């Protein structure tokens, strides 16, 4: 999921607003996405973590949302116009 999020963000297929959410807690979306850390383990796997005292809910919810679009086909919005 994380590699898909990074890939789509880098090539412009996924973008997110630079905003600050007020409810239920105050957080900066860009800061949340940049807070996650990765580390290459001895077995070759990548371990993800976030700093103590922080939460990674926003990061994983965005990654899951992007991952859910993997098999979606592009739709023709012009064909859906009325009138």
Determine contact, residues 53/82, Cβ cutoff 8 Å. no
Backbone angles phi, psi at 4, to 5 degrees: -65, -45
Residue 30: closest CA among 66, 70, 62: 62
pLDDT tens, residue by residue, 4-23: 888 888 888 777 766 666 66
**Could you give the CA distance from residue 83 to residue 41 in angstroms, rounded to a whole number?**
57
Judge residue 35's burial from the number of C-beta atoms within 10 Å of its C-beta, 0-12 exposed, 13-18 middle, 19 or more buried.
middle
Q: Are 1 and 63 in contact (CB under 8 A)?
A: yes
All structural domains of the chain with their residue ranges? 2-68
pLDDT digits (tens, 9 = 90+) for 27-63: 677 777 888 888 999 999 888 888 888 888 888 888 8
């Amino acid at each position: 999921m994380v590699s898909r999020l990074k890939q789509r963000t880098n090539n412009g297929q996924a973008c997110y607003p630079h905003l600050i959410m007020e409810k239920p807690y105050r957080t900066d979306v860009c800061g949340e996405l940049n807070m996650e850390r990765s580390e290459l383990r001895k077995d070759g796997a990548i371990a993800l973590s976030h700093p103590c005292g922080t939460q990674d809910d926003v990061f994983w919810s965005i990654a899951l949302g992007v991952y859910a679009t993997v098999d979606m086909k592009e739709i023709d919005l012009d064909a859906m116009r009325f009138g």
